[in-house]
Amino acid sequence: MMILLANRRWQNLLNRSKIQSPVILVRPSKSAPLRILAHQMEVYMKSWKQISLLSLCVVILLASTPGKPAWRMKADYVEACSCHLFCPCYFNKHAEHPYCELNMAVKVRDGYSGNTDLAGAKYWLTGDLGDEWGTNKKGKWIVVSFDPSTNKEQRDALAPMILKTYGLEWKELKVQEAPIQIDRAGDIVTATLGGGQLATMKLKREEGADGKGVVLKNVKYFGAQDNDGFDMYRSLEHSANVQGHKFSYTDRNAFLISIDTHEGEAGGGMSNK
C-alpha cells in the first residue's frame, strides 16, 4: 500500500512537471527555416531530459524509503531480579551471582503484528538468565504466562517478538495462562500472577537526592531499539513458584521501564562489552 501511494504521488508530480506549453513538431518543408526546426528539437530534447532526470530521482527515492516494520510493540514493564540494585547484567556479561532470577509483568501499550492489534495484551516472564546469557546467549529457563484476556492471535504474535527482544536460546521454555494484576499507589507498585500464588512483586520507588525518584538514561534494554529510562525501585517482595521453580527475595533490584521494540536490527543487548 505504501509503495502504491508513493507511485501515485510521484506520478502526479511527474504530470505536473511536464512542460505546460505543448511542443509542436512541424514536418520539414521547403519553406520551414532550419533554425525553427532546430529550436523545436532543442525544446523537445530539454523536456525529455527533465522527465528522465525526475524519473531517476523517483526510482532512487522509492528504493531508499523504508517500509513499515512487520511488527512493533511499545510496552510497559514492571521488573525485579535477584541482583542487588542496580542489576550489573546491564553493564557486564555476568550477573551478581551465577544466576539472575527474574519476574517481569508486561502490558502492551501499543503495537501490532501484521493485522493483529496487540494493544492491551498482558504477559508475565519468570525465569533465570543463568551464567551463560552474556557469553553464549543462552538462558537457563523461562516461563511465559499470558493473561486470559490476551487472545490466541495476540499470543501467537507476541511469542516470536518476546524471543527476538531478548535474543537468548532458552534451555527450558514453558508457556501457561494465569491472571495478571498490576497496581500502583504512590511510590509502591504491586504485581501478581495467579492472584499471588504463582508470583508476586511488591516494589518501592527509590527517592533520589531530590525525592523525585532516580531514572537511569542512555542504557540499552536487551534488544529493544529504544526505552524511556530505568525508573529505579527496590523489591519489598519478589517471589515465584512456577513450573517446578521457586525463589524468594527482598531488598533487591527492581525498576519500571517502557520499551519500543520492532522488526529489524536489535538495539544492542544488555552489555556491549
Nearest CA among 247, 214, 273 for reference residue 92: 273
Question: In three state form, how does the secondary structure of 228-264 look?
Answer: CCEEEEEEEEEEEEECCEEEEECCCEEEEEEEEEECC
The pLDDT of residue 223 is 87
Can you state the angle between helices 2-17 and 34-64, rounded to 10 degrees? 160
Strand (E) positions, 152-225? 169-177, 180-185, 188-193, 199-205, 215-216
Hey, which of 7-16, 26-35, 168-177 has the most confident mean pLDDT? Answer: 168-177
For residue 255, what is its C-alpha cell? 525498576
For residue 160, what is its C-alpha cell? 516470536
Query: Taking a C-beta distance cutoff of 8 angstroms, is the pair 227, 258 a contact?
Result: yes
Q: What are phi and psi of 247, to 5 degrees?
A: -155, 160
C-alpha gyration radius of the chain: 29
Range list of H helices, the chain: 2-17, 34-64, 152-166
Nearest CA among 80, 111, 75, 73 for reference residue 192: 80
Could you give the percent of the chain with pLDDT greater than 90?
Answer: 61
Segment 98-103 shows an average pLDDT of: 95
Residue 109 to residue 92: CA distance in whole angstroms:
30
Query: Taking a C-beta distance cutoff of 8 angstroms, is the pair 104, 98 a contact?
Result: no
Which of residues 190 and 212 earns the better pLDDT score? 190
DSSP 133: T
β 230-242/169-177 pair status: unpaired
Please give the distance of CA 148 from its chain centroid, rounded to a whole number.
24
Q: pTM of the full predicted structure?
A: 0.73
Residue 116 to residue 136: CA distance in whole angstroms:
33
The pLDDT of residue 131 is 92
- In terms of Cβ atoms closer than 10 Å to its own Cβ (0-12, 13-18, 19+), residue 49 is exposed
On the question of pLDDT at 145 being above 60, the answer is yes
On the question of pLDDT at 79 being above 70, the answer is yes
Helix/strand/coil for 49: helix
Residue 84 to residue 87: CA distance in whole angstroms:
6
Lowest mean pLDDT among 28-32, 34-38, 195-199: 28-32
The pLDDT of residue 163 is 86
On the question of pLDDT at 268 being above 80, the answer is no
Please give the distance of CA 266 from its chain centroid, rounded to a whole number.
8
CA–CA distance from 51 to each of 11, 23, 24, 39, 121 (Å)?
A: 11, 14, 17, 19, 50
Count CB neighbours of 253 within 10 A: 27
